[in-house]
Chain A
């Protein structure tokens, strides 16, 4: 297990290093990049020169950039004078992270709940209702869901607030908008896998032994189903934690997703570079954690590594 973790983290570091290198050289080669621009204010230019050592050779600049990265410094915006990338992340990431984590948890709990219910129910209408929920959740894009929720709960019934994230009640609609798609997908996964598992011999055997259904489901079936859901959860967590431009725009949330899209439309290269690296590290980090949990839960994964 120790070996597996070391290897997985090692691969992670290499990936981050490659991401840094590619992002660095791409921004330097981009046509009309900030480092060639003539129309740049004196203050910004000085800050950029100091930051990136522009008068030095490219490789030295690259070295400085890596050093700064290791110190946790992601550079400065080139379009918004005096604004550091770290500052933007510090301001927006907490909101996005909180929103994303709540969405992940909602999706996981409700999704698995619906999936189990769907697989286990003997009543036709429950089964149909579950199927309907899953189809709607997977079929309707999140911007549509966000708008419909806003219209119904915000404008028509005025039950829930729709602007910003001031109080916990403000979280409900954006979290739902973000969670519905992954929730439906998880429900679908769970349903499919649980249905398969329920037909397995070990379940029949357990039943014959007189084990109660909830115990079978919880102790035996869940154990086999969960790792598969975990595989889906990795990319989903990464997606939700890096923020959704659409949902953040609709609910006026100053989050990371909106900042990233704005940076692109502003052609703020240094900001794009900083945010890309940050999101990259985040995605890679999450994937490592998921992989390690997976190996911990599922002996097949770590054994396959140890055999090699």
Chain B
């Protein structure tokens, strides 16, 4: 009898629990659905790649920050689609004759999202914090044109000697060590973006993802951050230009893979999904939702020069010549276009209006025969004795396909083995930065509209140079191009530097440039494209 009772009690408990949960599910589901519909009109949900890096402009910058900053942070100034200056946090600037002293006058009506004023100190806050190597910011080296910045970064000078001064609350003065012709282009980089001095104390303290302390000076502010799932930004009522901002809320949802993004678009759970796989182009062909944009980007592979076999320029050249990029792009998808250049295929020369790549000679031409000969010269006839190299790449469809094609091609053409290792995006970034790889996939989307965004990556002192490149000749050419005020001469130097790095020393293995296959609800308008990177911007988006 006792056992009977026990059984009853257990069964009853299970039954009650499940009924309660199921009924709760139903009710809350209905409630949530209603709320969604009520506010549907002014909210959009954007699919973004899996969480990587934080939101601190001085911290580790990756996709999450870039998505956030585009809508939430105002840089001093930027360039519109016609290449004209668009003032944001600043209202004007002056520069001296030799382009070494730049003074910016800040907008007096600019406010943080808590209503307090944005001052020159907030800009200084990001800059000084970024000059600590421990912060792990990949953009620190773009502060190096500033007087003493590099010495401070290397611990040779005190922060007080930095060539940036807040003359008063609304005047910011930069003193450069040498003239820098593209200085205004640099201003859209994270390290030149403000972070509120009252809260943004240190990288990794968590202020950046906490909505209470993570203030913004742009059209939207952070209202919620759920690690691993999503973050939301709401319209900033204190924004100086808030009249033009139509949307009330944007939710950025993290996705591990691109196919899930496309599915989420199909089910109506996201309104915008970018960088989707190429098959989407066929699926949505002729539909209004599909918008294909050119990325100003180059996908390439870093061979680590610390690896014995890869120290030999003949080996690097052989690998470069043995890859059939046309075939690769055909297999990987319609959203790729082969390239043998480092500077992105669609980056335009502001002076001539042509793309940089078209103005210069091809750095090299693929040639399997020659590649084999080079490998023999390097002491690996028919791949004999060549070590198995490990190739690390993020586990995204496009990169996984690319990795397999390259593995096959190198096996077929050079008889060498590549071991594939797919990783989470965040881990891939971290390991690349730490130099912990043999071959590593890299994608570089232009941060600003000048080829320096590419060339600077391979400089000996670049924080993004993670493959051990130390080339004085290259550094000298790039340095010369920095100060060259004559645009024709400067272009020549830029081409010379690229030729040296890609066509002579083969420091990288360029693969292709990408098109971004985007799905956007036809009811959403006024999405603009950032001129420098080709990325989409939603700050002034409207809805029908």
* Chain A residues at the B interface, C-beta cutoff of 8 Å: 37, 39-41, 43, 79-82, 91-92, 102, 105-106, 108-109, 150, 154-155, 158, 161-164, 166-169, 171-172, 219, 222-223, 226, 249-250, 252, 254, 258, 262, 265-268, 293, 296-297, 299
- Check if A296 sits within 8 Å of B267, measured CB to CB: no
Chain B interfacial residues counted at CB < 8 A: 51
B269 within 8 A of A: yes
A46: min CB distance to chain B, Å: 11
B253 within 8 A of A: yes
- Check if B28 sits within 8 Å of A167, measured CB to CB: yes
Interface centre among A41, A172, A250, A293 (most CB of B within 10 A): A41
- Check if B267 sits within 8 Å of A250, measured CB to CB: no
- 16 A-B pairs (CB sep. < 8 Å): A40-B434, A41-B430, A81-B430, A82-B204, A109-B14, A109-B15, A154-B263, A155-B263, A162-B264, A163-B269, A172-B25, A223-B3, A252-B254, A252-B264, A265-B421, A297-B6
Chain B window 294-313, contacts with chain A (Cβ cutoff 8 Å), 1 for yes, 0 for no? 00000000000000000000
* Option from A41, A109, A262 in Cβ contact (under 8 Å) with B434: A41
Query: How many angstroms from the CA of A20 to the CA of B240 in the assembled complex?
Result: 58
Interface centre among B204, B270, B434 (most CB of A within 10 A): B434
Query: How many angstroms from the CA of A86 to the CA of B384 in the assembled complex?
Result: 47
* Option from B28, B228, B267 in Cβ contact (under 8 Å) with A91: B228
Closest to B52 in A: A80
Query: How many angstroms from the CA of A171 to the CA of B423 in the assembled complex?
Result: 28
Query: How many angstroms from the CA of A172 to the CA of B423 in the assembled complex?
Result: 30
**Which residues of chain A have C-beta atoms less than 8 A from B84's C-beta?**
none
Query: How many angstroms from the CA of A296 to the CA of B9 in the assembled complex?
Result: 13
Query: How many angstroms from the CA of A226 to the CA of B11 in the assembled complex?
Result: 10
**Which residues of chain B have C-beta atoms less than 8 A from A267's C-beta?**
421
- Check if B4 sits within 8 Å of A168, measured CB to CB: no
> Lowest 8 CB-CB distances: which A-B pairs, in order?
A169-B29, A168-B25, A39-B436, A254-B228, A167-B32, A154-B267, A266-B427, A105-B18
**Which residues of chain A have C-beta atoms less than 8 A from B436's C-beta?**
37, 39-40
* Option from A41, A80, A172, A249 in Cβ contact (under 8 Å) with B426: A80
Interface centre among B6, B269, B435 (most CB of A within 10 A): B269
Query: How many angstroms from the CA of A172 to the CA of B33 in the assembled complex?
Result: 14
* Chain B residues at the A interface, C-beta cutoff of 8 Å: 3-4, 6-7, 10-11, 14-15, 17-18, 21, 24-29, 32-33, 134, 136, 204, 227-230, 253-257, 260, 263-264, 266-270, 395, 421-424, 426-427, 430-431, 434-436
Closest to A161 in B: B269
**Which residues of chain A have C-beta atoms less than 8 A from B269's C-beta?**
161-163
Extra contacts besides A80-B426, A105-B18, A169-B28 (19): CB < 8 Å: A40-B434, A40-B436, A80-B430, A81-B136, A106-B18, A108-B14, A109-B14, A155-B267, A162-B263, A163-B260, A164-B229, A168-B28, A222-B7, A226-B7, A265-B421, A266-B424, A266-B427, A268-B427, A297-B6
Query: How many angstroms from the CA of A198 to the CA of B467 in the assembled complex?
Result: 73
- Check if B229 sits within 8 Å of A39, measured CB to CB: no
- Check if A252 sits within 8 Å of B256, measured CB to CB: yes
Closest to B267 in A: A154
**Which residues of chain A have C-beta atoms less than 8 A from B17's C-beta?**
105
Known interface pairs A39-B435, A252-B260, A254-B228. Does A164 touch B18 (Cβ–Cβ under 8 Å)? no
**Which residues of chain B have C-beta atoms less than 8 A from A164's C-beta?**
229-230, 253
Interface of A is mostly: helix
Closest to B47 in A: A163
- Check if A39 sits within 8 Å of B434, measured CB to CB: yes
Interface centre among A82, A262, A299 (most CB of B within 10 A): A262
**Which residues of chain B have C-beta atoms less than 8 A from A266's C-beta?**
423-424, 427
Closest to A230 in B: B10
Query: How many angstroms from the CA of A18 to the CA of B19 in the assembled complex?
Result: 40
Query: How many angstroms from the CA of A102 to the CA of B264 in the assembled complex?
Result: 23
Query: How many angstroms from the CA of A297 to the CA of B4 in the assembled complex?
Result: 9
Query: How many angstroms from the CA of A223 to the CA of B7 in the assembled complex?
Result: 7
Closest to A220 in B: B4
A236: min CB distance to chain B, Å: 14
- Check if A162 sits within 8 Å of B267, measured CB to CB: yes
- Check if A158 sits within 8 Å of B268, measured CB to CB: yes
**Which residues of chain B have C-beta atoms less than 8 A from A169's C-beta?**
25, 28-29, 32-33
* Option from B15, B264, B395 in Cβ contact (under 8 Å) with A265: B395
Query: How many angstroms from the CA of A265 to the CA of B425 in the assembled complex?
Result: 11
- Check if B14 sits within 8 Å of A163, measured CB to CB: no
Query: How many angstroms from the CA of A167 to the CA of B26 in the assembled complex?
Result: 10
Known interface pairs A102-B21, A252-B255. Does A297 touch B260 (Cβ–Cβ under 8 Å)? no
* Option from B26, B254, B260, B395 in Cβ contact (under 8 Å) with A168: B26
**Which residues of chain A have C-beta atoms less than 8 A from B7's C-beta?**
222-223, 226, 297
B94: min CB distance to chain A, Å: 41
**Which residues of chain A have C-beta atoms less than 8 A from B32's C-beta?**
166-169
Query: How many angstroms from the CA of A299 to the CA of B2 in the assembled complex?
Result: 11
Query: How many angstroms from the CA of A258 to the CA of B257 in the assembled complex?
Result: 12
Interface centre among A37, A43, A164 (most CB of B within 10 A): A164
- Check if A155 sits within 8 Å of B29, measured CB to CB: no
- Check if A163 sits within 8 Å of B28, measured CB to CB: no
**Which residues of chain B have C-beta atoms less than 8 A from A297's C-beta?**
3, 6-7, 10
**Which residues of chain A have C-beta atoms less than 8 A from B10's C-beta?**
293, 297
Query: How many angstroms from the CA of A13 to the CA of B117 in the assembled complex?
Result: 59
A183: min CB distance to chain B, Å: 13
Known interface pairs A39-B434, A82-B204, A222-B7. Does A109 touch B257 (Cβ–Cβ under 8 Å)? no
Query: How many angstroms from the CA of A106 to the CA of B24 in the assembled complex?
Result: 15
Query: How many angstroms from the CA of A106 to the CA of B266 in the assembled complex?
Result: 28
A249: min CB distance to chain B, Å: 7
